[in-house]
Structure 1
Amino acid sequence: MDKIKAVLFDLDGTLIDSEYFYFKNWAPILKDEFNLVISYEDWIRDFAGHTLAHNVKRLVDDYGYDTTEEYMWKRTRAAYADSNMSDIELMPDAREILTFLKESGIHIGLVTSSFRSTVDTVLGKHGLLDYFEFFVTRECVEFPKPNPEPYRLALTNLNLAADSCVAIEDTITGSKSALGAGMRLIAVTKQEVERARLTAVDNIVENLSEAKALLSQWI
């Protein structure tokens, strides 16, 4: 196996511990607007790792609710602002894996379905923005994950072959995007529902420390 030259990280649930943040903001909205009560396990199974457009489509098509992406954007963004997104913590060993890769001379990029404002708020608060050579955010692409477009754009930015780059993802949505672009992949998740979906992924680990150990064999 050839040595890797770049690692591209997902953001939510991979580098930052944001899924509970999103759940605690969406759950009251779903209850108030649609009388839909969900648990955190429901959130992980049905909504986590997807774009706003996907989740709104699910509410309309699967649940039969009358809403729009524009309306849910306003409701969720207002909730995020009140909840202070800058309070979101890093996943364990996030700083350590980024430092290891930077010191090893590996290119580092971020490929996320979140908007740049979220990236700047959360990673900026933790002083991690300078670790990344570039950011592919929701504004950058027409078709977000699971479409391969975000990772193909990242590969264009790097001017590297896909098989020399590794994506770090935590959901099947992001994993499909990376694999569709021809990249190597490490899936990092403890969620059993997510691990059961990742049947096409060869490398599944529970945390970033294990991902770092695996990467060290490929550098």
Structure 2
Amino acid sequence: MQPAAFIFDMDGVILDSEPIHSRVKMDTFHHFGLPFDEADLIYYMGRTSNEIFGEVIAKEGRKDLSVEELVCYKHEHYLEVLQSGAIKPIEGSVALIKKLYHKGIPLALATSSWEKVMETVLDAFAIRPYFKSVISGSTLPKSKPDPAIYLLSAEKLGVSPAECMVLEDTAAGVLAAKRAGMYCIGFRSPHSGRQDLSLADTVVNHLDEIRI
């Protein structure tokens, strides 16, 4: 099918970010003396830092810590890593963005990542000019799997949700897209763990499998 618009997630879809996210989150837990099993990070993929830190602080009963304090530390540390140049795109992602753009399909970016991180990636991969809409979930009241970010993206693109195609690599992201009433391609990203993509309309193992 040819959609009226195409919406990209960012982490694990455009940016090969999960190894960096894992490292930075574990560094944050260690810095604040919070116990956390790294294997449990898979359950938070596609969700915001506020959620993971909020749940861990509550579980440990650490009333001396605030979610905002941990999120700020994590974001600054993550941004340092990104700006050091230690990032790379998912294979085929930039080519797919350019291909869709040159076909005249309006593109949007809908990511749960912090706004500064989103801006850094757009500039690092020189892909900003291809997107008609870019939204960071950190600017919205609710994150994926809430469909708000996808509904807002469709509104900014000037198309109905049913005409949009979404590319997602996490269970939370796929659920958000489907709740928005959109066609969703599930992508088995190399570092996103064993995500349940069963709600996706189709699933691919490599981005060059996507045919528009």
Whether TM-score is above 0.5 comes out as yes
Q: Report the secondary structure of 2:72's partner residue.
A: helix
Runs of 4+, deviation exceeding 6 Å: none
RMSD: 1.9
Richer in helix (by share) = 1
Separation in structure 1 between the aligned mates of residue 185 and residue 61 of structure 2, nearest angstrom: 36
* Aligned residue identity for 1:64: E
Segment drifting more, 88-97 vs 25-34: 25-34
Q: Report the secondary structure of 1:34's partner residue.
A: coil
| Corresponding residue of 1:22 | 21
Separation in structure 1 between the aligned mates of residue 34 and residue 57 of structure 2, nearest angstrom: 14
CA change 1:185–1:35 in 2 (3 A) is same
Matches within 5 A, 1:18-97: 18-34=17-33, 36=35, 38-39=37-38, 41-43=39-41, 45-61=42-58, 63-66=59-62, 67-85=65-83, 86-97=85-96
8 Å Cα contact 1:98-1:131 kept in structure 2: yes
Alpha-carbon distance, 1:37 to partner: 5.1
8 Å Cα contact 2:9-2:111 kept in structure 1: yes
Separation in structure 1 between the aligned mates of residue 76 and residue 158 of structure 2, nearest angstrom: 38
8 Å Cα contact 1:9-1:169 kept in structure 2: yes
Deviations 1:90-136 (A, max 9, x none): 00001110111011111100011112211211120111111101111
Separation in structure 1 between the aligned mates of residue 60 and residue 116 of structure 2, nearest angstrom: 31
Separation in structure 2 between the aligned mates of residue 16 and residue 114 of structure 1, nearest angstrom: 11
Separation in structure 1 between the aligned mates of residue 104 and residue 173 of structure 2, nearest angstrom: 25
Q: Report the secondary structure of 1:49's partner residue.
A: coil
- Percent sequence identity over matched residues? 23
Q: Does 1:163 align with 2:159?
A: no
* Aligned residue identity for 2:76: A
Taking structure 2 as the reference length, the TM-score comes to: 0.88
Separation in structure 2 between the aligned mates of residue 131 and residue 167 of structure 1, nearest angstrom: 16
* Aligned residue identity for 2:158: N
Q: Report the secondary structure of 1:193's partner residue.
A: coil
- 5+ residue gaps, structure 1: none
Matches within 5 A, 1:178-217: 178-190=177-189, 191=192, 193-194=194-195, 197-210=196-209, 212-213=210-211, 216=212
| Corresponding residue of 1:138 | 137
- 5+ residue gaps, structure 2: none
* Aligned residue identity for 1:159: G
Alpha-carbon distance, 1:24 to partner: 1.1
